[in-house]
């Protein structure tokens, strides 16, 4: 495979699997040394061309929800529920086909919320929620939900610190910046690229004429 420095893959343009729900047009996969997002990053998710031809799911299909302005680093792996057939509460955790329906344990949908940043070669386990504006350090394995605007790292990933204080987090979440029309969010770029919460609040509440 030809090496390349970086190739930004905007997910709304490339994702075809109906079980991957992408919000907006800004989220991307930093495809540097791997195949495309669906073929490399998302594993064990029914609904792709291969699974539709070869398997008939015997359980409700989990979904991957990706917010807007999400950055996903190269060689990230997002594991989905199609692999949840190894039960550790049984003597054998082998996925015997005779018991495949009974062995399946649903983890629920996986959520990557607006503004999250997932570092290179991280692994996201099934059914977790990455909160708005959180950061997953490179090489981390995320097994539990990550709170908004929190940096996590390690195996398993644990909180390292919050990006801002609790009051600022609450104020950011209340603004729902990423639920605005993209042109409105883009209007706020100079303030999103700062740490002046009061100025951001004031600007966010002031609507641009015609919007």
- Residues serving a catalytic function are 86
CB 38 within 8 A of CB 19: no
- Cα distance between residue 19 and residue 154, in whole Å: 28
Question: Which tokens is 153 given?
Answer: 């790292």
Q: How many residues does the chain have?
A: 211
Integer Cα distance of 93 and 168 in angstroms: 45
Distance of CA 129 to the CA centre of its chain: 8
Closest CA to 66 of 8, 124, 106: 124
Quote the strand ranges of 23-119, DSSP E.
Answer: 28-31, 42-43, 64-66, 71-72, 77-79, 110-112, 117-118
Cα distance between residue 13 and residue 21, in whole Å? 12
Report d(CA 51, CA 30) in Å as an integer: 25
Which is nearest to 151 in space by CA: 140, 142, 162? Answer: 162
């Amino acid at each position: 495979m030809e090496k390349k420095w970086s190739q930004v893959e905007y997910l709304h343009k490339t994702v075809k699997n109906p079980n991957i729900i992408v919000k907006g047009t800004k989220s991307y996969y930093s495809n540097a040394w791997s195949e495309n997002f669906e073929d490399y990053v998302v594993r064990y998710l029914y609904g792709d061309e291969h699974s539709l031809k070869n398997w008939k799911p015997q359980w409700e299909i989990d979904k991957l929800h990706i917010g807007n302005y999400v950055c996903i680093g190269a060689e990230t792996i997002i594991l989905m529920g199609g692999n949840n057939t190894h039960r550790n509460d049984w003597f054998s955790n082998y996925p015997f086909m005779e018991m495949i329906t009974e062995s399946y344990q649903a983890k629920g949908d996986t959520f990557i919320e607006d503004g999250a940043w997932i570092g290179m070669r991280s692994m996201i386990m099934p059914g977790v929620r990455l909160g708005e504006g959180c950061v997953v350090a490179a090489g981390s394995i995320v097994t539990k939900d990550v709170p908004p605007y929190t940096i996590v790292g390690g195996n398993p990933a644990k909180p390292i610190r919050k990006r801002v204080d609790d009051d600022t987090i609450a104020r950011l979440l209340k603004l729902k910046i990423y639920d605005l029309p993209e042109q409105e969010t883009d209007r706020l770029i100079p303030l999103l690229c700062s740490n002046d919460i009061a100025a951001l609040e004031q600007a966010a509440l002031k609507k641009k004429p015609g919007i």
